[in-house]
Amino acid sequence: AAGCSILVKAAEETPAAPAALIKAFADAGLPPGVLGLVYGTPAEISSYLIPHPVIRKVTFTGSIAVGKQLAALAGQHMKRVTMELGGHAPVIVCEDADIALAVKATGAAKFRNAGQVCISPTRFLVHRSIVGDFAEALADHAKALRVGDGLAEGTQMGPLANPRRIDAMTTFTEDAVQKGAKLLAGGQRIGNAGYFWQPTILADVPKEAKIFNDEPFGPVAAIQPFDTLEQAIAESNRLLMGLAGYAFTKSLKYSDLLARKLEVGMLWMNMPAMPSAEMPFGGVKDSGYGSEGGPEALEAYLNSRAVMIQNA
C-alpha cells in the first residue's frame, strides 16, 4: 500500500512459510523484484543489509535482545525501524469478573499456537476472593484441551517449535514449584516423539519465580492472588515489557483506571485477544515501538514533507 519494495529475511527454523507466502503473491500477479526473500545467518545478513543504502526502513519481530542490537545498528545509519519485541502479558481478574468468560477468553489466548505468541497471557493476577474458583476452572480448561498434530482433526493445541522450548517449559515449571507454586495441571512433556507439552497451570506463584519475570513463549500460565487493584496494576507494570494486557471486570470505574494505568500497547477487556488490520499493533517500553497495524503502520513507510509554492 505504501509502494515500497520488500526484502524478507526468513526465520532459520521456518524457512518454508515465507517462501509459500511470497509464491502466493507472485501467483497473484505481483511484479518480479517487488518482494524478495533471503536465507542465511541472521547476524551476517543484518550487518550487510541494514547499513546498505538501498534499505530505507527496517521492521523486526523477535526477541528484545536482538531487537536492541538491530535498532542500534539502524540508528548508526539513521534508518527508521519498527520493533515488535517480547511480551509478558498480565491478566487482571477483578472480584466482580465473570469467571467463565475470563477462563474462556484467556484460555483461548494462552494456548493458541501452544503459547508461542507474543501477546499470550502469562501472569494471571486474580482477586483473592475468587482466585480459587478461577484457578480450578482454568485448570479444568487446560486438562480438557486435546494436544496433537496440528493438521489432525480435533486437535486444539499443537507442538512447540523445537527442543529448546521443551527444555524451557521444564525449567519454568520446576523453578516455580521449587519456589512454592502449586501445579494444578500439566507440567510434563507428552511422549518422546515431537515437541508436545501439556497445557500447564501453576497457582500461588511467587513473584521471584522465573515464570513471573521471563517470557515463557509456551503453554504455561502462572496465577497469583491480589488484594487491591492498585497491587495488581503495580505488578502488571513491574516488568520492562509492555506489549499486551488483559482485564476482566464489570466496573466502568475499574475499566477506566486500568485503561489509564496499565503500561501496555494493547489492552483487551472482557474479551479474548482479537487483533485486526485497522488497529495499531505494538508495544511500549522494552516491547518495542512502532506499529504493525492501523494507519500508524502505513505511515511508518512514508516520508512526510512540506512543499511551499508561491505564484510567480
Which one is catalytic: 4, 12, 13, 84? 84
pLDDT surpasses 90 at 2: no
Q: Is 118 a catalytic residue?
A: yes
- In this prediction, residue 263 has a pLDDT band, given cuts at 50, 70 and 90, of very high
Residue 255's CB is within 10 A of a number of other CB atoms, namely 17
Q: pLDDT tens digits for 145-168? A: 999 999 999 999 999 999 999 999
| % of residues, the chain, pLDDT over 70 | 100
Give the tens place of pLDDT for each residue, 190-217: 999 999 999 999 999 999 999 999 999 9
CA distance 138 to 219: 13
Q: How is residue 240 written as a grid cell?
A: 520492562
- What does the pLDDT average to over 84-110? 98
Q: Are 122 and 221 in contact (CB under 8 A)?
A: yes
- The DSSP output letter for 30 is P
Can you tell me the distance from the alpha carbon of 205 to that of 211, in angstroms, rounded to the nearest whole number?
Answer: 8
In the prediction, which pLDDT does 163 show? 96
Distance from C-alpha of 93 to C-alpha of 127, rounded to nearest angstrom: 6
Ranking 126-140, 225-239, 286-300 by mean pLDDT, the lowest is 286-300
| Burial (0-12, 13-18, 19+ Cβ within 10 Å), 95 | middle
Q: What is the per-residue pLDDT for 1?
A: 73
Does 3.30.365.10 match the CATH number of domain 6-85+278-300? no
Please state which CATH class domain 89-269 belongs to: alpha beta
The whole-model pTM stands at 0.94
292 is catalytic: no
Cα angle for residues 107, 253, 282 (degrees, 5° grid): 50
Task: Give the active site residue among 118, 215, 263, 292.
Answer: 118
Of 12-16, 91-95, 124-128, 277-281, minimum mean pLDDT range: 12-16
Cell of 202: 501453576
Give the separation between CA 41 and CA 255, rounded to whole angstroms. 46
Give the domain ranges of the chain.
6-85+278-300, 89-269
Question: What sign does the CA torsion over 271, 151, 161, 83 have?
Answer: negative
